[in-house]
A = this chain, B = another copy of it.
């Protein structure tokens, strides 16, 4: 019995909750749903211990609304749900994008469509995370593949939310959310935190949606003496509704630009063996674990296999993928869905290079399936 004192067994959902606490989350609103409920349950106990506040709302729509309301009050705020809840939240996620309110939405993906099979994993909400809300707006979505990564990316999600004034979606899946794993959490000093930027201009001059100089104007919390207006209508720099098309497009360009110009910070991934690869595997979430297993097996068999494990799914790392696949003719994209990130991979590198490996029956992609795809093509 040689225990490292800080190593412990922790569930993915709990790591997400602890990551939130570590990130400075002060408010959580949610509605129970398998397999995300544990996040709420842990935070119901933990948040008040650190002076924060938890509320269970009447549904998911109210939950995301309360989260945005709390964020407007200055709190780092989060909700957690699964597919059905994500669908319900879409309208207000769009509102958060429109009003540029930072918040974190966790979706622990289960097998859909519809109620599906609530206790089974899936990666079926990847496109819904990007495109579920009507209208055009960018979004950031992160996807961990281990318990420790869940902790880290939860912190990162809060940081990105505050840095870019945007909703951030954290896509877990049932495997990662319910899995317990040995994990050593970083000490508080090791964790890099972003606090919401504040303005120095006097209240009369404050423009919550200013186009210049920065693309991310500071958001002053309600109740701090900065009185201004927030609306889901198109608005001018002061936040007041506008009907002028020449005020809409600059805003829209800015909200896309604020993400695009920070891609180097936002795009998180692990790559290895890309240089000499004959075949590239691109995977994320629980499937990245199957893929990693398969990659190691294939390499043992003498295959040159490159591996790209994506942690940032949206914005899609176009350049990263293009670069990694540039020399190659074979890219395998395994997913627990009918092919979602594969669409983007195809868009970036061309349809005919891509071999999809899919299942959406509630079971993890087995390493053997990925291996077969590698071999079959080799």
Contact = CB atoms under 8 A, between A and B. Distances in A.
Interface of A: 61, 82-84, 86-88, 90-91, 94-95, 97-99, 107, 109, 111-117, 120, 122, 124-125, 127-128, 130-137, 231-234, 243, 245-246, 248-249, 252, 256, 337-338, 340, 343, 346-348, 350-351, 359-363
Given A111-B248, A116-B233, A122-B135, A343 B338 contact: no
Interface of A is mostly: mixed
9 contacts: A83-B134, A97-B113, A98-B114, A117-B234, A136-B360, A246-B361, A248-B362, A249-B361, A343-B347
A95 B112 CA distance: 10
| Complex copy number for this chain | 2
Contacts of A135: 83, 111-114, 116, 122, 124-125, 128, 360
A220 to B, nearest CB: 21
Given A248-B362, A252-B360, A359-B249, A91 B98 contact: no
A130 B133 contact: no
B131 A130 contact: yes
Contact of A117 (B87, B246, B248): B248
A48 to B, nearest CB: 31
A125 B363 CA distance: 32
Contacts of A112: 94, 98, 133-137
Which of A114, A132, A252, A360 lies at the interface centre, i.e. has the most chain B CB atoms within 10 A of its CB? Answer: A114
Given A113-B134, A125-B134, A350-B350, 20 more contacts: A83-B134, A84-B91, A87-B90, A87-B132, A88-B90, A98-B112, A98-B113, A98-B114, A99-B114, A113-B135, A114-B232, A115-B232, A117-B234, A122-B135, A127-B131, A128-B131, A128-B134, A248-B361, A256-B338, A343-B343
Given A90-B87, A248-B111, A338-B252, A243 B117 contact: yes
Nearest to A96: B114
B128 A132 contact: yes
A87 B233 CA distance: 16
B133 A252 contact: no
Q: What 9 pairs between A and B have smallest CB-CB spacing?
A: A112-B135, A83-B134, A113-B135, A114-B232, A98-B114, A115-B232, A127-B131, A87-B91, A248-B361
Given A117-B243, A245-B362, A348 B348 contact: no
Nearest to A134: B83
A115 B233 CA distance: 5
Contacts of A90: 87-88, 90, 128, 132
A109 B84 CA distance: 23
Nearest to A362: B245
Contact of A98 (B97, B116, B133): B116
B94 A114 contact: yes
